[in-house]
Amino acid sequence: GIFGLIFFVFSCTKEIVTTPTSNTSAGNTNSNTSITYSNLWIPPTLSGTTFNLSLDKSTKQFFSGSITNTYAYNGANFWGPTLIMNKGDQVQINVKNNLNETTTSHWHGFHIPAEMDGGPHQEILASTTWSPNFKVMNNAATYWYHPHLHELTAKQVSMGAGGLIIIKDPEEAALALPRTYGVDDIPVVLTSRKFTSTNVIDFSTAYGDYLLTNGTLNAQISLPKQVVRFRILNAEIERGYNLGFSDNRTFYIIANDGGLLDNPVPVTRVPLVVGERIEILLDLSNDALGSSLDFKAYNANLPQGFGGSEPAQSGQFGSLLNNKDFPVLHINVAATNTSPMLAIPSTLVKNTTLAATDATNSRMLMVTGGQPNGPAFSFNNSTFNHQTINQTVKLNAVEKWTIMNNNVFGHSFHIHDVQFKILSRSSGSVGLHESGWKDTVYLPVGQSVTIIAKFDDFASDKYPFMYHCHFANHEDGGMMGQFLVVP
């Protein structure tokens, strides 16, 4: 009856601890529920050519009552600092593991030797330090680091371990783009968590019911009345997001996983699956001072197959959180700085394109699994084994990979070492926002995607690279393979 319902609602609602802010204007009211916002946490930055990271046990007061145990880097409460690197620099990273379990640290999206990659083979035992060094060869864009230890990835990422990496290069620097970190160039890391009644992170489930933006619940930010840039990462375990603004305004995608696009792509919604990044420009120059709007995840008009076959319940694959569209960042429009950027550029960079005719080899990967008594997810009917090399690629090969999803779930396919171009989708439509360089791609149920990449620079007959589903629970469940690039 009604009392049961009231009790149910009451018992499912945690009292959120908020940092009191001066910004509690009338704009901070969302339809009939009043939300108290907290200021978006902006991860501190580290720059230079030597980076010291330590992965520690930490805590965060997400809710009133029990404090939540977390993992974080360099004394943060959840997540870690943003590393800022310059293309062309030789960098060294010292990763100290202060947990009492093994971890690894993977530089997602980086084109580096396999032994520096931080995949499942580069174990960092408890109380030890791993010190890879490599040349930064990637284009200016937004990348990230996270643990990648087989069967512990979902747990360690759920607990909060991860961080962004921003690569800068001269081509990007030459463009009129907002780039004042935390002021008009904003990191937006999206993830959600489920908490037990005693506020413990429940990492047995892939879907949270509380959204964390940079680790902040009910996040808000004051942004200058000008063009601003968001660097958005879907750092979820499994949920995909379909992002847009509460007034359905047009915004502009300027970069995806591996670099700037040729031209800004105007959209009103953009899907983002786990592991993918986009950079967008949002024009606030015509917004009134003191006005507000929400950056949100929407369920309506999801792209074809985007969670379409998942059960409609809390935790479905698409954008719903607790069966609702949900805000990811509340924006308050504030005064601008002295020389604001007011225009969306019409062109960005000239990307060299790989065409299907450039391919020197092609291969097919089948997403399998879900048979009675078998694993739920696999590639070509086999699950990850540290000792098994699943694919061998010749150095300098230009390869076309077709990944066919015969599994009953959608997946997020990620490959290490290379940035690729998406050549085609069996559904017929490669989104404009998917042009440019990618390292992670959405793979709808029953469909295939064909990508093309050049495997240059790094050969080894010993150290493999990974390809896998970036849903951490699928990856831990064995939906991962490895390839050698051989001379």
Residue 162 as a binder of ligand C2O (CB under 6 A): the answer is no
Distance from C-alpha of 422 to C-alpha of 9, rounded to nearest angstrom: 45
Least Å distance, CB 112 to ligand C2O, is 13
Least Å distance, CB 14 to Cu ion, is 29
Nearest residue (CB) to Cu ion, 148 versus 411: 411
Q: Which two tokens stand for residue 100?
A: 């009492």
Using CB under 6 A, which of 155, 277, 330, 416 touches ligand C2O? 416
- List the single partner that 108 binds among ligand C2O, Cu ion, none, CB under 5 to 8 Å by kind: ligand C2O
Residue 272 as a binder of ligand C2O (CB under 6 A): the answer is no
Residue 469 as a binder of Cu ion (CB under 5 A): the answer is yes
> Phi and psi dihedrals of 153, rounded to 5?
-60, -50
Residue 150 as a binder of ligand C2O (CB under 6 A): the answer is no
C-alpha gyration radius of the chain: 22
Least Å distance, CB 271 to ligand C2O, is 18
Residue 168 as a binder of Cu ion (CB under 5 A): the answer is no
Residues paired with 269 in a beta bridge: 244
Residue 258 as a binder of ligand C2O (CB under 6 A): the answer is no
CB 96 within 8 A of CB 129: yes
Using CB under 5 A, which of 79, 245, 471, 483 touches Cu ion? 471
**Total binding residues toward Cu ion, as defined by CB under 5 A:** 4
Least Å distance, CB 407 to ligand C2O, is 18
Residue 468 as a binder of ligand C2O (CB under 6 A): the answer is yes
Q: Strand ranges (DSSP E) for 284-343?
A: 292-297, 326-334
Nearest residue (CB) to ligand C2O, 245 versus 401: 401
Sign of the Cα pseudo-torsion (253, 79, 307, 107, in order): positive
Residue 140 as a binder of ligand C2O (CB under 6 A): the answer is no
Query: What single DSSP character describes residue 476?
Result: H
Nearest residue (CB) to Cu ion, 136 versus 237: 237
CB 404 within 8 A of CB 435: no
Using CB under 5 A, which of 474, 478, 481, 485 touches Cu ion? 474
CB 78 within 8 A of CB 70: yes
* Per-residue contact flags (x/-) with ligand C2O for residues 73 to 112, judged by CB under 6 A: ---------------------------------x-x----
Nearest residue (CB) to Cu ion, 442 versus 471: 471
Window contacting Cu ion (CB under 5 A); options: 66-74, 199-207, 315-323, 411-419:
411-419
Residues paired with 72 in a beta bridge: 56, 79
Window contacting Cu ion (CB under 5 A); options: 70-78, 164-172, 202-210, 462-470:
462-470
Residue 474 as a binder of ligand C2O (CB under 6 A): the answer is no
Residue 273 as a binder of ligand C2O (CB under 6 A): the answer is no
Nearest residue (CB) to Cu ion, 108 versus 229: 108
Nearest residue (CB) to ligand C2O, 137 versus 432: 137
Nearest residue (CB) to ligand C2O, 236 versus 399: 236
CB 104 within 8 A of CB 446: no
What is the amino acid identity at position 94?
Answer: N
Residue 148 as a binder of ligand C2O (CB under 6 A): the answer is yes
CB 477 within 8 A of CB 469: no
Residue 207 as a binder of Cu ion (CB under 5 A): the answer is no
Least Å distance, CB 144 to ligand C2O, is 7
DSSP string, 363-384: EEEEEE---TTS-SSEETTB--
Using CB under 6 A, which of 466, 469, 484, 485 touches ligand C2O? 466
Q: Tell how far CA 398 is from the center of its chain.
A: 26
From residue 455, give the alpha-carbon distance in Å to each of 135, 348, 350, 396, 468.
16, 26, 21, 5, 17
Q: Tell how far CA 410 is from the center of its chain.
A: 16
Considering only CA atoms, which of 145, 54, 49 is closest in space to residue 94? 54
SS (H, E, C) 402-414: EEEECCCCCEEEE
Q: Are strands 38-39 and 421-425 parallel, antiparallel or unpaired?
A: unpaired
Residues at the contact surface with ligand C2O, assessed by CB under 6 A? 106, 108, 146, 148, 275, 414, 416, 466, 468, 470
Residues at the contact surface with Cu ion, assessed by CB under 5 A? 411, 469, 471, 474
